[in-house]
Amino acid sequence: MNLLMNICKSFMDYVPPINEFLTVSELRESSMRFVRENSDIAELVEVGLSRSGDPIEALIIRGGEKKRVLAFGFPHPNEPVGSMTLEVLTNIFSINRDFLRKTEATWIIVKVADVMGAKLNEGWFKGGFDIVKYTLNYYRPPGYKQVEWSFPIEYKELKFSNPTPETLALMKLIDEWKPTHIYSLHNAGFSGTYYYVTKDPGDHVLDVLYKVPYSLGVPVHRGEPEAPYMKKLHEGVFLMPSTSEIYDWLEKYLGRSPVEAIKHGGSSYDYAKKVNPDVFELVSEVPYIYDEKLSNDTPIGIPRREILRLGIGKEEELLMDVEKEVEIVEPYMSSDNPFFESLTYFLEVGKKHLEAEKKWIEEDPSLDESATVAQAFDAYTVPVFYGGLLRYGLLYRSIVFESNRTRLPENIMAISHDAYAKIMKLADVFKKYSRFYVVPVDKLVRIQLAAIISTILGVY
Which has more pLDDT, 2 or 353?
353
124-127, long-range: CB < 8 A, 24+ apart = 125/20, 125/21, 125/22, 125/23, 125/80, 126/20, 126/21, 127/20
φ, ψ for residue 168 (rounded to 5)?
Answer: -60, -35
| pLDDT band with cut points at 50, 70 and 90 for residue 32 | very high
Residue 184's SS3 state is strand
The contacts of residue 365 (CB under 8 Å, 6+ apart) are: none
Residue 150's SS3 state is coil
The answer to whether 390 and 321 are in contact (CB under 8 A) is no
| pLDDT band with cut points at 50, 70 and 90 for residue 110 | very high
| Residue 150: pLDDT over 70 | yes
The DSSP code for 348 is: H
d(CA 294, CA 372): 10
Cα angle 321, 150, 251; round to 5: 65
pLDDT digits (tens, 9 = 90+) for 121-131: 999 999 999 99
| pLDDT band with cut points at 50, 70 and 90 for residue 319 | very high
Domains of the chain: 3-291+439-458 (3.40.630.10), 299-435 (1.20.120)
How confident is the model over 221-239, as a mean pLDDT? 88
Query: What type of residue sits at position 386?
Result: Y
245-252, long-range: CB < 8 A, 24+ apart = 247/155, 247/156, 247/158, 249/356, 250/352, 250/353, 250/356, 251/156
d(CA 436, CA 217): 12
| pLDDT band with cut points at 50, 70 and 90 for residue 229 | confident
| pLDDT band with cut points at 50, 70 and 90 for residue 1 | low
The model carries a pTM of 0.95
Reduced to 3 DSSP states, what percent helix, strand and coil does the chain have, rounded to the nearest 5? 55, 15, 30
Residue 207's SS3 state is helix
Chain mean pLDDT for the chain: 95
Q: What is the pLDDT of residue 435?
A: 92
> What spatial distance separates the first Cα and last Cα of the chain, rounded to whole Å?
22
The CA-atom distances, in angstroms, between 191 and each of 44, 289, 354 are 35, 7, 20
Q: What is the pLDDT of residue 460?
A: 66
d(CA 377, CA 389): 17
d(CA 384, CA 356): 20
pLDDT digits (tens, 9 = 90+) for 350-365: 999 999 999 999 999 9
DSSP string, 84-149: HHHHHHHHHHHH-HHHHHHTTEEEEEES-S-HHHHHHHGGGSSSS--HHHHHHT-----GGG-GGG
d(CA 335, CA 332): 10
| pLDDT band with cut points at 50, 70 and 90 for residue 227 | confident
Q: What is the pLDDT of residue 189?
A: 80
Using a pLDDT cut of 90, give the percent of the chain over it: 92
pLDDT digits (tens, 9 = 90+) for 367-392: 999 999 999 998 889 889 998 999 99
d(CA 16, CA 11): 11
The contacts of residue 238 (CB under 8 Å, 6+ apart) are: 194, 195, 196, 197, 225, 230, 231, 232
| Residue 446: pLDDT over 80 | yes
